[in-house]
Structures are given as C-alpha cells and as structure tokens.
Amino acid sequence: AQSVTQLGSHVSVSEGALVLLRCNYSSSVPPYLFWYVQYPNQGLQLLLKYTSAATLVKGINGFEAEFKKSETSFHLTKPSAHMSDAAEYFCAVSDRLGGSQGNLIFGKGTKLSVKP
C-alpha cells in the first residue's frame, strides 16, 4: 500500500534562509506525488505535483521538489523563506492501484515557522 512519511512535524527557519521539508514515500507502483499547503483556517491548496515527467518539479510561490526514486524521496525546497510561507505543508501520494482515479494518502504534515 502507498504511504508517505514526513520527517519533522515542525520546522523553523529564519526569513531568507533555505526551506527544506522532507517527505519519503512507499509505493508498489510508480507514484504520483503531491505537496499541498494549508494556511491557518483555510483548506489545502496544491503547491506542486510529480506525475512521472520531469523529476524536478516547480510549483507556486517559488517552491520546488525533486523526485528521487533511489531514495524514495520527494523533498520540498525553497531557496529563500518569506514570512508569508508560514503554514502547514502536506506531502501526499496517489493511491492509484489499477490505474483508476486514486485517493490521496497524506502525511502527518510539517508546520513551517519563519522567524524575522
């Protein structure tokens, strides 16, 4: 069965510093992977997704993620953190056994804090 593990429930960085949020996945089929962001009191919003095309995926707000099959990882990065990036970030894998429309299996989330 598909699953994702997010390392670190809380990450704190200074404004302007590199953001690195870690996600490892487990999948019995080539995975479709996603990062979603949740701002306080809002729903989840798609940041970026990997669907077996380019391994380096660029998303909104300057975020990107690299799919590394050998490491079963899909870490999210941003070169320079901004105060507005403070939110909770969720990694997800699509449970698409049999090729049908899949459910999203979400990680536990990582809360990002940005210090001035």
Partner 1 sequence: DAGVIQSPRHEVTEMGQEVTLRCKPISGHDYLFWYRQTMMRGLELLIYFNNNVPIDDSGMPEDRFSAKMPNASFSTLKIQPSEPRDSAVYFCASTSSGSWNTDTQYFGPGTRLTVL
- Could you list the residues that contact partner 1 (CB under 8 A)? 32, 34, 36, 41-46, 49, 51, 90, 94, 96, 100-104, 106-109
DSSP codes of every residue in 50-82 = E-SS-SEEE-GGG-EEEEEGGGTEEEEEESS--
* Shortest Å distance, C-beta 41 to partner 1: 8
* Shortest Å distance, C-beta 28 to partner 1: 16
Q: Which residue type, as a one-letter code, is found at position 68?
A: K
Question: Rounded to whole angstroms, how far apart are CA atoms 27 and 40?
Answer: 30
* Shortest Å distance, C-beta 96 to partner 1: 7
Q: Which is nearer to partner 1, 44 or 86 (CB)?
A: 44
DSSP bridge partners of 6: 23
Q: Which is nearer to partner 1, 70 or 101 (CB)?
A: 101
Q: Are strands 44-50 and 33-38 parallel, antiparallel or unpaired?
A: antiparallel
Q: Which is nearer to partner 1, 47 or 114 (CB)?
A: 47
